[in-house]
Amino acid sequence: MKQRLHPIELTLMIVAALALTSGAVALHTQSQLAEKVVRLHVLANSDSEEDQALKLKVRDAVLEQATETLRGADSQAEASRRLTDILPELEETARAVITANGYDYGVRAELAETSFPTKEYDGFALPAGEYLALRVLIGEAAGQNWWCVVFPPLCTAAASDVPTVALDAGLTDQEVALITEADEGYILKFKSVELWQTLKAKLTK
């Protein structure tokens, strides 16, 4: 005789199925989102107070130059091309800040696919995953890092302007909703993305 599921067991199965379905949809949206943005990733030489303070000064200078360079860019491909063209200039900008503050650290600027955890910012958040990033590595690049989004220019946008800036850069309503819905559903979506990212990594090993 076939055993019937207890109502609680059935409820748990339904909830799990819905969570996995939501996660699959959110993961697909995250993948599409990753094809439209460029992160900014600045790595400090170390975790010393001085090196962390220097990191923020380098960040400010690089962010200002990158934001100006990307003004009017309408796609990730265009943003990537423009940033690639000025990587040497971005390195010089960072090096000038480092030298002006009395340090002789080397510095390297590059564009690279980079794995990021879920990160919340003022007015939006991005789910964990692989993203194209403008990386600025200071010295040993062994300290705590700083990251945001340089394209679209969400790093410099006011929280209330994030949806408009994102839509203007080509993100869809669904993608904007994924990164700006600050409620319980938003949290569950991000947890679902992280779960699917973990499962995908294990399956590809």
Q: What is the pLDDT of residues 165-179, one digit of tens each?
A: 999 988 888 888 888
pLDDT tens track for 7-17: 554 444 444 44
Domain interval for residue 17:
7-32+172-203
Same domain, 125 and 87: yes
Same domain, 73 and 139: yes
Q: Is residue 18 in some structural domain?
A: yes
Same domain, 45 and 144: yes
Q: Which residues have CB under 8 Å from 150's CB, separation 6+?
A: 38, 39, 40, 63, 66, 67, 70, 79, 83, 134
Phi-psi region for residue 139, left (φ > 0), alpha (ψ -120 to 50) or beta? left
pLDDT tens track for 42-101: 999 999 999 999 999 999 999 999 999 999 999 999 999 999 999 999 999 999 999 999
Same domain, 138 and 183: no
Q: Average pLDDT for residues 109-128, to the nearest whole number?
A: 88
Please indicate, yes or no, whether the overall pTM of this predicted structure exceeds 0.95. no
HSE-CB for 121 with a 13 A CA cutoff: 23
Total number of domains in the chain: 2
Q: Is residue 199 in some structural domain?
A: yes
Q: Is residue 106 in some structural domain?
A: yes
Closest CA to 42 of 90, 81, 100: 90
